[in-house]
Amino acid sequence: MKIGILTSGGDSPGMNAAIRAVVRTGIYYGMEMMGIRRGYQGMIEGDIIPLQTTDVSDIIKRGGTILKTSRSKEFMTDAGMQKAYNQLMHHNIEGLVMCGGDGTFRGAVHFFEKYTIPAVGIPCTIDKDIIGSDYTIGFDTAVNTAVEAIDKIKDTAEAHNRIFIIEVMGRDAGYIALYSGIASGAEDILIPEEVTDITEVIDRIDRDERRKKTVHLIVVAEGDDFGGAREVSSKIIEQFPLLDVRTSVLGHIQRGGNPSCADRILASRLGHAAILALKNGNTQVMAGIVNNEVVYTPFKNVVKGCNPISKDMLELIRVLAI
């Protein structure tokens, strides 16, 4: 078989490790491997190159993606999909491995409704918002990056008796905020999955001030219903004009950097699993890890929603915030 691999949507640490695993596993089983640059847009434009074992040497430790990535609006049109399919046929590609998140798999569902070509997905997104895998490639690294940054911010917050509101990524899912907030000892964690009662946040700050607590740390997911860090900060300043309130938006540092050990291993396992699925005729599925075992979930099920936040984790926030 001639197999194409692409990375699509937002980049995540560990994508290169997944590329490496896919390419080397494919070659091990006698497949010809092709890299599709710039995701679905590169597929449309025929930006396709051969990949050998040496092309993926030493990339396991690198962030980003050697194949580049993009979000392609053209691919979501009938004409764009037709161009993409024509390019695959022109290059004699008989199977696909797609590394990406929710948008990538939604695109796959629409594409494979029209065209029949074996394909397997690998969940690569820092948001951990994909059904079918306990963890997604890039999440562990992003959370550790956020925790490291928050720890440093907390040092200066304690030195100056400041309230700090820190915004992390998470437009639709609050896992980065949840994990990094708990790990850094935040007093409040605001996530999209829960309706934010700003009055409760204000009350906790008031209580901490009366207890002479020197620092109050709030971690906010960018998709929280009340708004990001600046909106929360404005409300707190309105209520406590004499307090020293600062905001920090971590932004895209969460996407970059060398992948953690956990992400490298996860990417290696899933890259290997993706090729095995194609080899065994198990297609139109995403490879994931559930309870430390490889599982395959149909694309149509993957895009139906995201893993719900555990009630135990939500209770943990409330208990540890006292």
Residues 102/304, Cβ–Cβ less than 8 Å: no
Do residues 133 and 6 share a domain? yes
Confidence at residue 43, expressed as pLDDT on a 0 to 100 scale: 96
Full-model pTM: 0.93
Burial track 130-155 (b if 16+ CB lie within 10 A, e otherwise): bbbbbbbbbbbbbbbbbbebbeebbe
Residues 6+ apart with CB under 8 A from 318: none
HSE value, Cβ hemisphere, 13 Å, CA-based, for 19: 37
CATH code assigned at 82: 3.40.50.450
Backbone angles phi, psi at 120, to 5 degrees: -135, 140
Do residues 10 and 128 share a domain? yes
Do residues 94 and 169 share a domain? no
Do residues 249 and 298 share a domain? no
Token pair recorded at residue 174:
């609050």
Confidence at residue 278, expressed as pLDDT on a 0 to 100 scale: 97
Spans of the chain, pLDDT less than 70:
none
Domain boundary among 255, 276, 310: 255
Do residues 87 and 149 share a domain? no
| 123 part of a folded domain | yes
Backbone angles phi, psi at 130, to 5 degrees: -115, 130
- Residues 37 and 94: their CA atoms lie apart, in Å, by 17
HSE value, Cβ hemisphere, 13 Å, CA-based, for 82: 3
Do residues 179 and 80 share a domain? no
Confidence at residue 7, expressed as pLDDT on a 0 to 100 scale: 97
Judge residue 303's burial from the number of C-beta atoms within 10 Å of its C-beta, 0-12 exposed, 13-18 middle, 19 or more buried. Answer: buried
- Residues 212 and 56: their CA atoms lie apart, in Å, by 55
Q: What is the CA radius of gyration of the chain?
A: 22
Q: Which domain holds residue 124?
A: 2-138+259-302
Do residues 170 and 268 share a domain? no
- Residues 68 and 271: their CA atoms lie apart, in Å, by 17
Do residues 131 and 164 share a domain? no
Q: Is the dihedral of CA 50, 51, 52, 58 positive or negative?
A: positive
Angstrom distances, CA of residue 64 to CA of 4, 101, 257: 19, 15, 8
Confidence at residue 212, expressed as pLDDT on a 0 to 100 scale: 79
Residues 121/108, Cβ–Cβ less than 8 Å: yes
Domains: count for the chain = 2
Residue written as token pair 């890039």: 138
Torsion of CA 216, 221, 222, 225, to 10 degrees: -90
Do residues 33 and 160 share a domain? no
127 given a catalytic annotation: yes
Confidence at residue 171, expressed as pLDDT on a 0 to 100 scale: 87
Do residues 25 and 127 share a domain? yes
Confidence at residue 113, expressed as pLDDT on a 0 to 100 scale: 87
| 183 part of a folded domain | yes
| 319 part of a folded domain | no
SS3 content of the chain, % helix, strand, coil (to 5): 45, 20, 35
| 322 part of a folded domain | no
- Residues 315 and 198: their CA atoms lie apart, in Å, by 18
| 307 part of a folded domain | no
Residues 220/229, Cβ–Cβ less than 8 Å: yes
- Residues 298 and 303: their CA atoms lie apart, in Å, by 9
Q: Which of 11, 127, 188, 224 is catalytic?
A: 127
| 290 part of a folded domain | yes
Do residues 281 and 233 share a domain? no
Confidence at residue 86, expressed as pLDDT on a 0 to 100 scale: 97
CATH code assigned at 168: 3.40.50.460
Do residues 88 and 126 share a domain? yes
| 309 part of a folded domain | no
| 314 part of a folded domain | no
Can you name the residues that pair with 120 across neighbouring β-strands?
97, 285
